[in-house]
């Protein structure tokens, strides 16, 4: 079993899509081993996305991620990282495969509904950024 990290981003929470996304996650066979709703400060968003700090979109991304609440999740299943990335779809919703979360619910490349760890290394940073071991079931 593998664990990965996911965020339901502000655009999706604002549009009240959390339930639909959780239903898709569980319907695909993931176990949700941690979940909470919170509002990131801009500083927390900057710390989380630090790997992108030199990119031109960094400030806009951090402003977006701190504009309203998000839902963070710890997901578990075999090959969780790859399977979650498949379920999310391409970063640009217009290029995401039919049936993926971003294809069905994403607004734009900037407001693309969900985030997911892209490797075991990023999952090992992202999961403890939001969850203590005591919070994971």
Sole residue written with tokens 């951090």: 62
52 has catalytic annotation: no
Could you count the other beta carbons within 10 Å of the beta carbon of residue 131? 19
Positive or negative: CA dihedral 108, 109, 110, 115: positive
Q: Burial letters for 6-45: b for 16+ Cβ neighbours within 10 Å, e otherwise?
A: bbbbbbbbeeebbeebbebbeeeebeebbbeeeebeeebb
Write down the catalytic residue from 103, 115, 117, 126.
115
Active-site positions read: 115
């Amino acid at each position: 079993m593998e664990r990965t990290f996911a965020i339901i981003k502000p655009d999706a929470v604002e549009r009240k899509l959390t339930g639909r996304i959780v239903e898709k996650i569980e319907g695909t066979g993931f176990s949700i081993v941690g979940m909470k709703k919170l509002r990131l400060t801009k500083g927390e968003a900057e710390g989380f996305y630090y790997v992108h700090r030199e990119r031109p979109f960094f400030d806009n991304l951090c402003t977006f991620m701190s504009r309203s609440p998000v839902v963070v999740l710890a997901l578990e299943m075999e090959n969780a990282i790859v399977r979650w990335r498949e379920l999310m779809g391409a970063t640009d919703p217009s290029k995401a495969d039919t049936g993926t979360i971003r294809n069905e619910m994403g607004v734009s490349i900037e407001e693309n509904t969900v985030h997911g760890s892209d490797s075991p290394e990023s999952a090992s940073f992202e999961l403890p950024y939001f969850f203590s071991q005591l919070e994971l079931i």
